[in-house]
């Protein structure tokens, strides 16, 4: 039986068809990547590797931006068919970014799915670590960045801990059973536990 993925030059290639949700995320990243680094975390990581469950939002970590850079991104997203739940202008919306509050973007005329835009800085040690240690993953021609798989599993098990999160973690443990490394779990666990302090 096919394991559903293979590794090529460090990139996880997932063997499945592109979905509507993939296309939504791909469109968003096409704009975001011109302005900033990023990391996709949480539910979409499991969904992208074949776990069958619905989601209304896709969580994305983004380094905190200054107002000018954020305005450029905001206007670019607007010009590419996205709207922001928190405001119609970059100026009004930046107040949320400045206060490290999450904001959401969706396609014009839609509420779901949406991208939950999570600003982080160096004070967020766990999130900063995963942002700077990305794992590339590819579905067909769609390549994007997620945390190391062991890190994502631990985060779901130790920090989030909800029923859906634990099911996601079980899926990742099963799906990637032949490439998970015990030493990585040991390395990442104290970093993940910082989030609990």
pLDDT at 42: 94
> Mean pLDDT, to the nearest integer, of 156-161?
98
For the stretch 7-21, pLDDT in tens is: 999 999 999 999 999
Instruction: Spell out the domain ranges in the chain.
Output: 5-196
At 41, give phi and psi (nearest 5°).
Answer: -130, 175
Residue 147: pLDDT over 70 = yes
Report d(CA 113, CA 20) in Å as an integer: 10
CA distance 50 to 188: 24
Rounded Cα distance between 74 and 172, Å, is: 33
Q: pLDDT by residue (tens digit) across 73-130?
A: 999 999 999 999 999 999 999 999 999 999 999 999 999 999 999 999 999 999 999 9
**pTM for this predicted structure:** 0.96
pLDDT at position 54, please? 80
Kindly indicate the confidence band of residue 2, based on its pLDDT and cuts at 50, 70 and 90.
Answer: low
DSSP strands (E only) in 25-139: 39-41, 57-63, 82-84, 103-107, 114-120, 135-139
- Choices 2.30.110.10, 3.40.50.620, 3.30.420.40, 3.30.460.40: CATH for 5-196: 3.30.460.40
* Residue pLDDT, tens place only, 56-65: 999 999 999 9
pLDDT score of 1: 38
pLDDT value of residue 106: 99
Residues of the chain with pLDDT > 90, as a percent, come to: 94
Q: For position 138, what pLDDT does the model report?
A: 98
């Amino acid at each position: 039986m096919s394991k559903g993925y293979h590794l090529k030059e460090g990139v996880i290639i997932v063997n499945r068809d592109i979905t509507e949700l993939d296309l939504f995320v791909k469109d968003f990243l096409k704009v975001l990547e011109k302005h900033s680094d990023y990391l996709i975390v949480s539910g979409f990581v499991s969904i992208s590797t074949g776990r069958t469950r619905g989601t209304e939002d896709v969580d994305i970590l983004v380094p905190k931006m200054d107002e000018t850079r954020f305005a450029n991104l905001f206007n670019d997203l607007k010009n590419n068919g996205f709207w922001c739940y928190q405001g119609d202008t970059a100026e009004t919306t930046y107040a949320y970014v400045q206060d490290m509050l999450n904001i959401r973007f969706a396609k014009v005329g839609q509420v779901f799915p949406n991208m939950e835009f999570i600003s982080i800085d160096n004070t967020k040690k766990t999130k900063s670590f995963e942002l700077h240690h990305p794992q590339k993953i590819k579905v067909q021609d769609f390549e994007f960045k997620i945390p190391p798989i062991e890190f994502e599993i631990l985060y779901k098990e130790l920090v989030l801990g909800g029923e859906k999160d634990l099911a996601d973690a079980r899926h990742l443990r099963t799906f990637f059973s032949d490439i998970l490394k015990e030493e990585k779990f040991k390395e990442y666990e104290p970093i993940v536990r910082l989030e609990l302090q």
